[in-house]
């Protein structure tokens, strides 16, 4: 049945296109050649300098009520510990590949996600990961799910996501950001502020099913 359907759908499209007298002139070259001719006059590359790009990004994050912490690589563990204390949390979920040096030594119990079953995975209310790239224009953080950035469930079930990012990971446009995604067939999640809905009277409400809090540790 399914094979018949496949044939019918593809065949119908071809026949329909052939029935349009205007189409012939439009498709006399290969899809690749025609694709290359698509006009792209929108902004693809950066117009701002580094400082302006970063300022814009911080501004967008604050606009989403995210918390921003500025430190250096040596200060990550301290910043994480501080964020945990502020949130009154003691159990921290980390993907298998997150560096040991990022983890607080005292007062925080660290749970590494080595293929944890659902229940222990769901328990921690804070998760710590790095990301691949961030977009200043829209305040977006992009995760390419891996050992280091964790499987998708790890950054979804906890209520509070602490994300570590380097300043040079911040780009201005989405076009630049997509160029930095190298493993395009691994699962990818883009995050712009905490989970939200405007479904009730068009009022934006923070936090429905995804993490309600985002802390960005910026290096």
Partner 1 sequence: MSVRVGHTAEKPAFPILAHELLQDDQTRRNVRHATDVIRNKRALRVAEMPDWQDLRTTAHAIKTHTLLHLPHYLEEFERNCIRAGGQVHWARDADEANTIAIRLIRHAAERLAVEHPEVIKVKTMTSDEIGMNRALEQQGITPWETDLADMIVQMGKDEPSHIVVPALHKNRHQVRELFLQNMGLTELGTEAEDLTGAARHYLRKKFLEVGIGISGANFAIAETGSVCVVESEGNGRMCVTMPKTLITLIGIEKVIPKFDDLEVFLQLLPRSATGERMNPYNSIWTGVTPADGPQEFHVILLDNGRTRMMANVRERETLNCIRCGACLNQCPVYRETGGHAYGSIYSGPIGAILSPQLNGMKYSRSLPYASSLCGACYEVCPVKINIPETLIHLRGKIVAQDQNTLSGKLSQESMGMKMAAHLFEHPKQYEAAQRLARTGQGLFEKDGKLVNLPGMAAGWTQYRDLRALPKQSFREWWKRSHTDRGDGSSGVGDE
Rg, Å, the chain Cα set: 22
User: Using CA atoms, how far apart are residues 163 and 68, in angstroms rounded to an integer?
Assistant: 10
Single residue of 2, 88, 100, 106 touching partner 1 by CB under 8 A: 2
Q: Which is nearer to partner 1, 61 or 92 (CB)?
A: 61
Taking alpha carbons only, the member of 155, 158, 159 closest to residue 130 is 155
Q: Is 25 one of the binding residues for partner 1 (CB under 8 A)?
A: no
User: Using CA atoms, how far apart are residues 103 and 123, in angstroms rounded to an integer?
Assistant: 18
Count of chain residues binding partner 1 (CB under 8 A):
73
Residues 35-74, one symbol each (x = binds partner 1 by CB under 8 A, - = not), give: x--xxxxxxx---------------x--------------
Single residue of 79, 122, 128, 217 touching partner 1 by CB under 8 A: 122
Q: Tell me the closest approach of the beta carbon of residue 107 to partner 1, in angstroms.
A: 28
User: Using CA atoms, how far apart are residues 195 and 156, in angstroms rounded to an integer?
Assistant: 10
Stretch that binds partner 1, among 75-83, 98-106, 123-131, 168-176 (CB under 8 A): 168-176
* Half-sphere exposure in the Cβ direction for 36 (13 Å, CA): 4
């Amino acid at each position: 049945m399914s094979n018949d359907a496949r044939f019918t759908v593809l065949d119908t499209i071809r026949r329909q296109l052939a029935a349009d007298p205007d189409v012939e002139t439009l498709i006399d070259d290969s899809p690749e050649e025609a694709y290359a001719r698509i006009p792209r006059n929108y902004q693809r590359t950066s117009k701002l300098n580094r400082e302006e790009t970063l300022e814009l990004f911080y501004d967008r994050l604050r606009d989403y009520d995210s918390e921003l912490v500025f430190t250096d690589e040596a200060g990550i563990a301290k910043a994480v510990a501080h964020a945990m204390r502020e949130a009154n949390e003691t159990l921290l979920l980390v993907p298998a590949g997150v560096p040991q040096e990022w983890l607080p030594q005292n007062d925080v119990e660290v749970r590494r996600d080595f293929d944890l079953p659902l229940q222990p995975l769901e328990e921690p209310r804070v998760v710590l990961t790095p990301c691949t790239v961030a977009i200043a224009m829209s305040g977006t953080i992009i995760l390419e799910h891996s050992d280091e950035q964790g499987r998708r469930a790890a950054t979804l079930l906890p209520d509070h996501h602490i994300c570590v990012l380097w300043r040079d990971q911040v780009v201005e446009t989405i076009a630049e950001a997509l160029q930095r995604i190298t493993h395009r067939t691994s699962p990818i999640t883009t995050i712009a502020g905490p989970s939200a809905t405007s479904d009730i009277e068009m009022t934006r409400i923070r936090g429905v099913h995804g993490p309600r809090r985002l802390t960005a540790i910026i290096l």
